[in-house]
Structure 1
Amino acid sequence: MTEFKALLVSEGTDGSFQREVVQRNVEQLPQGELLIRVRYSSLNYKDALSASGNRGVTKAYPHTPGIDAAGVVEASGVAEFAVGDEVIVTGYDLGMNTAGGFGQYIRVPAAWAIKRPQGLPLREAMILGTAGLTAALCVDKLEQAGVTPEAGTVLVTGATGGVGSIAVVLLKQLGYRVAAATGKAEQAEFLRGLGADEIVSREELQQGSERPMLKERWAAAVDTVGGDILFNVVKSLRHSGSVACCGLTAGVGFQASVLPFILRGVNLLGVDSVELPLVVKASMWDKLSLQWKLDLSALCREVGLEDLPEAIERILAGGMVGRILVRLD
């Protein structure tokens, strides 16, 4: 019986939630065709919600969060994967209601896993994680809508977060002029170091929410926050501009009108990286291993399993910057 370490979130009798690293065994894992020894994971906002008892993310406790995992197949019940294959698992139900990547082992359906692209080591794959996959999907969707570097400045909201910071790096590498929006004014130099040409304050983006239209400003945008900021971005897109929407930290609702859409022909593009068909995920991971390969060393901090409770508190308090890579020794 193989034992392993995992972060376990448990609900106390008083309704509070505790996080501790415990010993588990693989027999406690759910059924699935693949048993994977996890080498790396990453910390996302959804993981922090799961780790704090958010029933909208995780219904039953005790539970091990971690929506990202990269590791090595140790047992396989399907011909498509062999023992020793290096694989990436992101999204679907991993870390939500299925024991996730904050444990040294996971057991999942084969339909959730892709083989690691040759040009993307497991560690680099998890520096990207769901955040990097989502950022790439956003940029890809903008380009499919016709956005080019010649069109003008692309705004990234929530730019110090995981998705936002990777979007800044990717857009800059592709030749775009990038404006990074943040509520953390002290991180301006960090964002400029990632490639941001302009820093925009959160307060500036919140202005004019009562107005039906705002001055044309952005050729396109990657929005990671939602709420009224998202629709202020929509109202300030240039004619035929597009915004890719993938987050909700500022709220799930906003005050909207049809005017930007019928007067400027703008596009609001939704981006999902969780239930996306596996073939689409695999294609984007291939792209991130080749023509969109990024150096993300400047925005990554590596932690061990024992450091996760403190990192989770930081992200819940809005203090996370860049990416947190989780090493599972």
Structure 2
Amino acid sequence: MKALVVEKIADKEFSTEVRELSMPKCGDNEVIIKVNYSSLNYKDALSSAGNPGVTRNFPHITGIDLAGEIYESKSPIFKAGERVLVTGYDLGMNTDGGHAQYVKVPSSWVARTPDAITDKEIMTFGTAGLTAALSINELIDNGVKAENGAILVTGATGGVGSIAVSILSKIGYKVVAISGKSEKVDYLKRIGASEVILRDEFNEESSKRPLLGEKYAGVVDTVGGEVLANALKLIKYDGVATCCGLTSSHELNTNVFPFILRGVRLIGIDSVECKLEKKQAAWEKIASKWKIEDLKNITNEIALDEVKKAYELLLEGKAVGRYVVKISD
């Protein structure tokens, strides 16, 4: 089978190439999945660069998402031929991931793919789409309604941000997008943003004051750092911010005023270890009432041998939208 393999060749030096490998062997309560599509995420790019917080075991196959069908099963839960997907857990981290034609995983990691969506479509969402859906679910479950006001989405040209903008717009919310890419303003408006604010302008206008005027009903933050700290100051009374990323910074220098004077809530989003039932429910929404009809606006389809170049774009902060990797014909 073919797979994209990252090899450690020296201290802090790694190579990435497509290789021919032996098929994995299926053990008890495991399945082997014939992969049709995978996707690219920032975590995949970090893995390819040998980031020890993501991957420590090399050689290694990247890919934290996959969609395909069961090729072999030694689990009572699944049978050969069923359409399935896997996101999160240890897939693509220290367990070989979805950038291979066949992948072995524990059956407890596997979700069934809803009938109303194709493998390519669900991988356009992938971990990024699941994270966006879980974030939006938290806003809704905590009483943030479209009539309450606009939702601010940070890091809006990235995978999570693009999908969050698109879903929120589809289900009736006004969306204000923040991005560091001035050349992508038209793209963000095309996928559903009613207003776009450039990141530097947003941080500059959000002064050092501990609290600012109430402006947004909720925030979907994908970047952390100064942007999230400033966004918290602008949330309306009883509003909610979700946080799922750290591409700006893992640090959050803020104050308590939004929380104790406006009842603002900050909710962390984890799509890796959250319960499979919660993931399955989110996938069902993504495949139905939250499905983005015009996915081509946010999708770049690439082949396995094009992944290495895409990793460079991700690590340089130049990637836009979602990268879907076609694995099997």
TM-score by length of 1: 0.96
5+ residue gaps, structure 2: none
1:132 matched to 2:132? no
Aligned to 1:115: 112
Aligned to 2:257: 259
Instruction: Note closer, same or farther for the CA distance 1:119–1:172 as it changes in structure 2 (3 Å cut).
Output: same
Q: After superposition, what is the alpha-carbon deviation per residue over 1:228-250, rounded to whole angstroms, capped at 9, x for unaligned?
A: 21111111111111111111101
Q: After TM superposition, which residue ranges in structure 1, 4 or more long, deviate above 2 angstroms?
A: 27-32, 207-211
Deviation at 1:81, TM superposition (A): 0.5
Give the aligned residue type for 1:220.
G
Q: After superposition, what is the alpha-carbon deviation per residue over 1:132-153, rounded to whole angstroms, capped at 9, x for unaligned?
A: 1111111110011101110111
Deviation at 1:29, TM superposition (A): 8.5
Distance 1:30 1:158 in 2: 41
Aligned counterparts, 1:1-329, within 5 A: 4-27=1-24, 33-207=30-204, 208=206, 210-295=208-293, 296-329=295-328
Distance 1:281 1:123 in 2: 18
Contact 1:31 1:108 in 2 (8 A): no
Contact 1:30 1:98 in 2 (8 A): no
Distance 2:195 2:129 in 1: 22
Distance 1:27 1:167 in 2: 36
* SS of equivalent to 1:301: strand
* SS of equivalent to 2:60: coil
* SS of equivalent to 1:74: strand
Contact 1:29 1:106 in 2 (8 A): no
Distance 1:127 1:156 in 2: 19
Instruction: Note closer, same or farther for the CA distance 1:209–1:73 as it changes in structure 2 (3 Å cut).
Output: farther
Contact 2:38 2:99 in 1 (8 A): yes
Q: After superposition, what is the alpha-carbon deviation per residue over 1:189-230, rounded to whole angstroms, capped at 9, x for unaligned?
A: 000100110001101232346321122211111000001211
Q: After superposition, what is the alpha-carbon deviation per residue over 1:297-321, rounded to whole angstroms, capped at 9, x for unaligned?
A: 2110100000000000011000000
Distance 1:281 1:23 in 2: 32
Q: After superposition, what is the alpha-carbon deviation per residue over 1:164-208, rounded to whole angstroms, capped at 9, x for unaligned?
A: 000000000011111010000100000010011000110123234
TM-score by length of 2: 0.96
Percent of matched pairs sharing the same residue: 47
5+ residue gaps, structure 1: none
* SS of equivalent to 2:167: helix
Give the aligned residue type for 1:170.
I
* SS of equivalent to 2:21: strand
Deviation at 1:17, TM superposition (A): 0.7
Give the aligned residue type for 2:140.
E
Contact 2:28 2:74 in 1 (8 A): no
Instruction: Note closer, same or farther for the CA distance 1:31–1:228 as it changes in structure 2 (3 Å cut).
Output: farther
Contact 2:12 2:50 in 1 (8 A): no
Deviation at 1:78, TM superposition (A): 1.3
* SS of equivalent to 1:26: coil
* SS of equivalent to 2:202: helix
Say which is worse superposed, 204-213 or 313-322, in terms of deviation.
204-213
Deviation at 1:32, TM superposition (A): 5.9
Say which is worse superposed, 19-28 or 305-314, in terms of deviation.
19-28
Contact 2:225 2:250 in 1 (8 A): yes
Instruction: Note closer, same or farther for the CA distance 1:238–1:52 as it changes in structure 2 (3 Å cut).
Output: same
Give the aligned residue type for 1:62.
P
* SS of equivalent to 1:233: helix
Q: How large is the Cα RMSD of the aligned pairs? A: 1.4
